[in-house]
Amino acid sequence: MIILTNIGFNVKVNHPHAILACYLKQIAMGKDVNETSWAVLNDLYATRALVSYQPHILATAAVYIALKLVKEREENEELERFEWWKAFDVEIEDLLSINDAFLELRDKLSGIKQKLPLSTVDIEKYIQSK
């Protein structure tokens, strides 16, 4: 780090978690949305979105996805009419793209989970089949 700093590299990293904490205080949507937003943001670290988008966009996307997962459909439709993400300088196209990456990750993980033996009996059957 010292060498990179001395030759002029900007080594300061802005993490979306700090931004997310501020956003969650501002929007005050409840404990379920807060916890789900944190979980979504952590999961986004396993996608390409982390290197493709600015931290404030990732934080906003985490809230956007959490709202979709936690809130009822009617509540989401009402919130989307307000286009609340524009207050955080984020475009809907970015949110939808990150949402797609999240859903793709979730599909991959659910496929892995289904393939793994979950009980002792399943493990024995799996071993015997090999």
Domain ranges of the chain: 14-129
Q: What is the mean pLDDT of the chain?
A: 79
* Closest among 112, 100, 20 to 52, alpha carbons compared: 100
Q: Tens of pLDDT along 46-97? A: 888 888 888 999 999 999 988 888 877 666 676 677 787 888 888 989 998 9
CATH superfamily name and code, 14-129 = Cyclin-like (1.10.472.10)
